[in-house]
Structure 1
Amino acid sequence: MSESNVTGQDAASSRTALSRLRPVVCGVGAALTGVLAVASCGNGSGNGGAGTSTPTAPATSNFSGTVPSGMSSWAESKKAEASASASAAASSASARASEFEASVSADTERARAEAQKQLAKVKGRGNATKDVSMTGVPLSQTHNVRALLVTMTNRTDKPASFAVQVDFSDSHGKVVETVVVGAQNVEPGQKAERYAISHKPPEPHLTAELAKAQRY
C-alpha cells in the first residue's frame, strides 16, 4: 500500500470520528449553557463539514414555576412600605386635624360633649335641620385638613343651643367617619359657626352629609 493511500484513509477516518463526536460535544454544550443553542456543530455534510445547525431546547429541570425567594421578599418589602406610608399619612392627617381643632375655640370640646348627649336622645334627623347649613373650607386654609363650616341659626325668640352630626361617606356611600359639633346659648336671630373637622386624609374624596341637627 502506498503512502498516499494510507494518508488518505487516515484523513477519512479522522473526519468520520470528528463527525461522530460533534453531536456529543453539542449536546454537552447545550446542557452546560441551558440556553437554546444554535451551534456550528453540523451533521458533517456539505463542503468543509459545515451543515445545518440543530437548535437544542433549554434545560428546564431546575425551574420550579414559582417566584424566586428573593423576588418574593422584595415584593413583601414593598407591600409593607406602602402600608406603612398609608398609615403614616392617616396619622399625620389626624394630628393636623387635632391641632386645627385646638386652635379654633377653647369651648369646642365642652359644646361637643353636650351635643353628643343631646343627639343620643334624638329620633330621626332632629328638629333643626332647616336651621343648619354647611360650607366646605379650602384645604389651603386648613393645612390640608378636611373641614366644614357649620352655621346654626336661631330662628326662635329665645336663646337656644344646637347639636349637629355630620357624616362623611366614601364613594360607595359607606359612612367612614362621624363628627359632632355644638353651640350653646345662641341668641334669638343670631348665628353660631363651628368647624366639623375630619381626621381622615384629604384623599380619597369623602362626601359630607348633615345627618342630625337638634335645637334644645
Structure 2
Amino acid sequence: MDRKYVGAPAGPLGGRRRTLGALALLLAGLGVVVACSSSGGSSSSSPGPSSFSPNPSAFSSGASALGSLASSAKASVSSAAASLSAAASSFAASVSAQAGENRAGAQSALATVTGSGNVTSGITITGLPKATTGGLNAALVTIVNNTSGTANYAIRVNFSDASGTVVDSTVVNRQNVAAGATATVTAFSTQSPDQALVPTVAQAQSY
C-alpha cells in the first residue's frame, strides 16, 4: 500500500517566502526606530558658525606699547653710551696727566732708536679689563730697573687687532727710576674700542 503525506510544501519556495516575511518585519521595525530618532533629534539645535570681529583699538594699544618699549630701549642705549664715553674720557685724562711728565723727551729719545731699543729685560705689559678703563683698550707697563743707576724710560706700546695689524701706537715714559726699583705706567688707545686689541712693547729705551 502506498503512503501519502499531506501538509505544507517544504521545498525551496516555502523557505524563501518565510525569509522574505521576516525581512519585511525587520525593515518595518527599523523604520520606526529611525523615525523616532529623527523626530527626537530635531528638538536640539546644532551650534552654527560664530563670527569674530577684531577690535581695532586692541591693535592700536599693542602698537603703542611696542613703540614705547622701543623708545625706552633706545634711550637706555643712548644713556649707556654717554656714560661709557664719559668714563673713557675720565680714564684717558687721568692717565695722560700721570704720564705727561717729560713726554716730549721720551718721544725724542725714541725718534732716533732703531729696532727694539737698549732695554732688553725688566719690561712687562699686562692688559687691563675694559670695566676699569671706560671701555678703552689699555695696558699696565711694569718697569724694573736692573741697572746700577737711576734711569729714565721711554716705551712705545703697539695695539694690534686679531689679525696682527697695528691699529694704534703710543709712547709712555717713566722718569727717575732708581736702581733695582720697580715702576708702572699705563698705556691706552682710543682707537677701535669695540675690538679687543692686543698690547705689545714695540720699543723700550733708557736715557
Q: What TM-score results when the alignment is normalised by the length of structure 1?
A: 0.53
Specify the alignment match of 1:205 in structure 2.
196
Instruction: Name the CA shift for 1:123/1:107 in 2 (closer, same or farther; >3 Å).
Output: same
Which of 111, 119, 132 lines up with 2:123 in the alignment?
132
Q: Identity, % of aligned pairs?
A: 45
1:136, CA displacement in angstroms?
A: 1.1
Specify the alignment match of 2:102 in structure 1.
111
Taking the TM superposition and a 5 Å limit, the aligned residue runs for 1:66-145 are 96-104=87-95, 106-145=97-136
Instruction: Name the CA shift for 1:97/1:198 in 2 (closer, same or farther; >3 Å).
Output: farther
Specify the alignment match of 1:153 in structure 2.
144
Task: Give the number of equivalent residue pairs.
Answer: 128
Which sections of structure 1, spanning at least 5 residues, go unmatched?
Answer: 1-89
1:45-100 deviation per Cα after TM superposition (whole angstroms, max 9, x unaligned): xxxxxxxxxxxxxxxxxxxxxxxxxxxxxxxxxxxxxxxxxxxxx99978754421
Partner AA of 1:141 in structure 2? T
Instruction: Name the CA shift for 1:113/1:206 in 2 (closer, same or farther; >3 Å).
Output: same
Taking the TM superposition and a 5 Å limit, the aligned residue runs for 1:37-52 are none
> Could you tell me how far apart the structure 2 residues matched to 1:124 and 1:199 are?
25
Specify the alignment match of 1:194 in structure 2.
185
Specify the alignment match of 1:163 in structure 2.
154
Partner AA of 1:132 in structure 2? I
1:182, CA displacement in angstroms?
A: 0.2
Contact 1:170 1:176 in 2 (8 A): yes
> Could you tell me how far apart the structure 2 residues matched to 1:200 and 1:92 are?
18
1:143 alignment partner, SS class:
coil
Specify the alignment match of 1:183 in structure 2.
174
> Could you tell me how far apart the structure 2 residues matched to 1:104 and 1:97 are?
11
1:132-155 deviation per Cα after TM superposition (whole angstroms, max 9, x unaligned): 100111111222222100011111
Greater C-alpha radius of gyration: 2
Contact 1:94 1:201 in 2 (8 A): no
2:121 alignment partner, SS class:
helix
1:203 alignment partner, SS class:
coil
Q: After TM superposition, which residue ranges in structure 1, 4 or more long, deviate above 3 angstroms?
A: 90-98, 104-107
Partner AA of 1:207 in structure 2? V
